[in-house]
Structure 1
Amino acid sequence: MGVAQHRARRALVCAVALVGAACAAPADEPEDETSNAASSTSTEPSSTTSGPVQIMYERPTVDPPGELDASIVGDDLLVIGSETLPEELVEQIGRIQVRGEPGVVAMHQFSLTQIPVENKVLDVAAVDPAEYRRFTVSDSAQLQDQWDRVAGGEVAVALELKGRVPLDEEEYLAFATGGTTHKLHVGAYGQQVGTIDAVVNEGWAEELGMVRGNALVISTGGVSPQAVNERLTKLIDERTTVYGLDAVAEYGLDTDAVQVANTVGTFAEAVGVFRYTVIGGGRIAPEPAWVREHIVTETLPLLGKITCNKYMMPQLRHAMEEIAFSGLGPEIKYHVGCFYPRFIAGSTTLSNHSFGLAIDINSLENQRGTVGEMHPQVVDIMKRWGFAWGGDWNYTDPMHFELERIVEAR
């Protein structure tokens, strides 16, 4: 797909916004966070992550990309695998021909995963900035400072997410993976490949626990992406999927294509490989086999019957038991569900409810953007049992609790 087609497909103003100069680590960096006080019951949660949560400001760097010295090729197809794409497969893809003409004129292999950030799951790519930039639109590709900042360890965020991602006062974005929260400074906002939300350099892949080289962006030049896709799908197996970046349905996604979410940290275990199709109205349909494997319905104290991810259910049960034991049962009046496969409204960003890893409690009294009426002791108990609370976010969501870490009773 050409650059002009890409502009039309995204329906965005083609511009790139740079934020302030790179911030050094604060003089007084936060000390490692320790867990909350012991539970008031005889059963205490024990984190299965390695040690207390650490907040890290260090950032890996790569060599600056230099000035753009190659043509801008655009993005036509995106290949995503649950594992590293084999070298032989990548070579076969590069040799695809359509009626004697090369079907792949350029491609870039990189790492792609999804990382939970507050009530969102962002598509995060770890790339070689010198190569990846060629697949973005002209204004983004040619903005040298953006790619220098990415090489220097900062993050570039998709232009359409400006003002919609949770940053602290110094423009840092927090990526929590396992027992570590990495604080990445946002260096620029620009249009990215496909539906990628954030881009870092490839040195971040190991730090964030990403699968190396599990994604491939392809430019087909003057050859139809659909024709290339027909040949490409014959080369891949069930662990890999392909979708066309010019096949636009609601919010820019192809409703006929199977999408894949690969997550890191705690979510890697609880989500695994999440395959889904877009069904319109902001809703998605997860693969039935994934639902059978991960989603369960149980009856819990205070909540009654509820459907959630099986990895979260034990912690939710223990939290409700402790809330009831503490005499706070009347504070849990009702819930509005846990497993609800959908995007964040008006975006292609998956909600954590898509994985059954979040629950909204007493929603009418705890609307977004308000302080809410959630009892502080209820919040403390939920946090002890591994849940993050939306009331702590920059744009508050006090009804919302989501899985932050796996804990177990001891």
Structure 2
Amino acid sequence: MIVRRRALAAAVVMVCTLTTAAACGDKGAATKDEPTADPSGSASSSVSTDPSTSPTAEFPVADPDHAVDPPGPLEESLEIADILVYSTKPLSDDMVERIKALDGVEAAEQFSMASIPIQNRVVTLAAVEPATFRRFTTSGKEEEIWSRVAGGEIATTEKLGKRISDTKAFVRLGADKDAPTAHIGAYAEQPQGLNLVVNDKWGESLDMVEGNAMVIATGIKSPQSVRRPIKQIIGDEDVSIQMLDAVARYGLDPNARLTAVPTGDSVGSAVGVYNYRVVGGRVIPDASWVTANVRTEEVPLLGRVTCHKVMLTQLRAALTEVVERGLADKVYQTAGCYYPRFIAGTHSLSNHAFGMAIDINSAENGRGTVGQMDRTVVSIFKKWGFGWGGDWNYTDPMHFELNQVLEVR
């Protein structure tokens, strides 16, 4: 059993730094010999090789403002992350130490975790200490990957990275219009339940809840045997415990109370803490969240719609201007606003689960197409604080989502 687990932990699954992205089929990624791109998408000078900002001459820092100390070679053994614990607030020192001391807990690592909407897909973001968190990943021995995370870049899977990044491999970290943008530095598998990994300095910049999560390795012990004592330590705290073998098998732990903790000054703050369960594949938010946040109201052109209360005011203002400018015939149908669901074929929440997005004129505006959405209508929606899916790398021209909370008078 020990040999099997260690062999699995040592296997590097889909590891590809974007310095060699051409070998992985990503022609749009920056390489060592090419200029990097700034968040606006324009080319800038090559990554710094100044010793004052570089972990080593071999692995230069891409983002000095978000760089931490280089991790160096991994000295400890690799572990398999068996359990993910996370909360809406920091895990107390006493709680962490008691969990680490449990019989059956071989290793554990505390970090920060948040949920961020990116192009209608709510992903989990982990802000970690690269030198120690890496041992819980299959890429832990790959120094370049973790040097790039230390240098301010993102590690994620190739499939997700290509879906949510622009043509320069940059990702906007949140739905807010002014959300910061980070570069994908490496494709590498992460523990189940974690989509993007950055260093802990990014966590500070994004105002993530500090130390609200931990991964636990149980070694040769059954993870299920450790769940009950962890629950006893946590008590009635608002904490989720996910068994990652269930996540690997089913995409989620069907026994867990799940929580999305959106970050961001504008939209994320409006959403607040989103607790939910999954029953028969359906997302069931806590009734208290729905009561506090979701409203059904009349708006021009579309009639009665059900959305987040913050979004409704801006949606009504945008549609009113569409009518006033003689464009009423350009908006005729909605495929829905508040719809608690996962993205099709995944277990990632849609931004529709928060009621912060609306689909308009769906018949002729399918995903991956240019669509037929009137561009003046698009500009009106942008004026009233909406982002448009037609601007994404993988387009969704029917989709408008709130990216800025405005005061409408």
Q: TM-score, normalised by structure 2?
A: 0.85
**Distance of 2:68 and 2:350 partners within structure 1:** 32
Q: In the alignment, which residue of structure 2 is the partner of 1:66?
A: 72
SS of alignment partner, residue 341 of structure 1: coil
Instruction: Tell me if the contact between 1:117 and 1:176 (Cα under 8 Å) persists in the aligned partners.
Output: yes
Kindly tell me: are residues 3 and 128 of structure 1, through their superposed partners in 2, closer, same or farther at Cα, counting changes over 3 Å?
farther
Instruction: Tell me if the contact between 2:267 and 2:405 (Cα under 8 Å) persists in the aligned partners.
Output: no
**Distance of 2:199 and 2:18 partners within structure 1:** 18
RCO higher in 1 or 2 (8 Å CA, sep ≥ 6)? 1
Q: In the alignment, which residue of structure 2 is the partner of 1:142?
A: 141
Q: In the alignment, which residue of structure 2 is the partner of 1:38?
A: none
Structure with bigger helix share is 2
Structure with bigger strand share is 1
Q: How many residues align?
A: 375
**Distance of 1:200 and 1:164 partners within structure 2:** 18
Aligned-residue offset at 1:113:
0.7
**Distance of 1:29 and 1:70 partners within structure 2:** 39
**Distance of 1:203 and 1:397 partners within structure 2:** 32
Aligned-residue offset at 1:230:
0.6
**Distance of 2:3 and 2:284 partners within structure 1:** 31
Q: In the alignment, which residue of structure 2 is the partner of 1:43?
A: none
CA RMSD of the aligned region, Å?
Answer: 2.7
**Distance of 2:257 and 2:38 partners within structure 1:** 46
Paired residue type of 1:317: R
Q: In the alignment, which residue of structure 2 is the partner of 1:363?
A: 362
**Distance of 2:360 and 2:35 partners within structure 1:** 39
Paired residue type of 1:198: L
Paired residue type of 1:189: Y
**Residues 246-395 of structure 1 mapped to structure 2, 5 A cutoff:** 246-248=245-247, 251-265=250-264, 266-281=266-281, 283-395=282-394
Aligned-residue offset at 1:270:
2.1
Paired residue type of 1:117: I
Aligned-residue offset at 1:162:
4.5
Instruction: Tell me if the contact between 2:63 and 2:151 (Cα under 8 Å) persists in the aligned partners.
Output: no
**Distance of 1:332 and 1:320 partners within structure 2:** 8
SS of alignment partner, residue 229 of structure 2: helix
My pick for the range that moved more, 188-197 or 345-354, is 345-354
SS of alignment partner, residue 156 of structure 1: strand
SS of alignment partner, residue 336 of structure 2: coil
SS of alignment partner, residue 241 of structure 2: strand
Aligned-residue offset at 1:248:
4.3
Q: In the alignment, which residue of structure 2 is the partner of 1:90?
A: 96
Q: In the alignment, which residue of structure 2 is the partner of 1:184?
A: 182
Kindly tell me: are residues 14 and 30 of structure 1, through their superposed partners in 2, closer, same or farther at Cα, counting changes over 3 Å?
closer
**Residues 237-252 of structure 1 mapped to structure 2, 5 A cutoff:** 237-248=236-247, 251-252=250-251
**Distance of 2:364 and 2:7 partners within structure 1:** 42
Instruction: Tell me if the contact between 2:88 and 2:238 (Cα under 8 Å) persists in the aligned partners.
Output: yes
Are residue 194 (structure 1) and residue 217 (structure 2) matched? no
Where does the alignment leave 5 or more consecutive residues of structure 1 unmatched? 32-55, 97-101
Kindly tell me: are residues 368 and 30 of structure 1, through their superposed partners in 2, closer, same or farther at Cα, counting changes over 3 Å?
closer
Q: In the alignment, which residue of structure 1 is the partner of 2:87?
A: 81
**Distance of 2:3 and 2:162 partners within structure 1:** 26
Kindly tell me: are residues 198 and 293 of structure 1, through their superposed partners in 2, closer, same or farther at Cα, counting changes over 3 Å?
same
Paired residue type of 2:364: E
What are the Cα deviations for residues 304-325 of structure 1, in whole angstroms up to 9, with x where unaligned?
Answer: 1111111211111111111122
Kindly tell me: are residues 238 and 318 of structure 1, through their superposed partners in 2, closer, same or farther at Cα, counting changes over 3 Å?
farther
Where does the alignment leave 5 or more consecutive residues of structure 2 unmatched? 20-30, 43-61
Are residue 128 (structure 1) and residue 134 (structure 2) matched? no
Instruction: Tell me if the contact between 1:2 and 1:73 (Cα under 8 Å) persists in the aligned partners.
Output: no
Aligned-residue offset at 1:25:
5.5
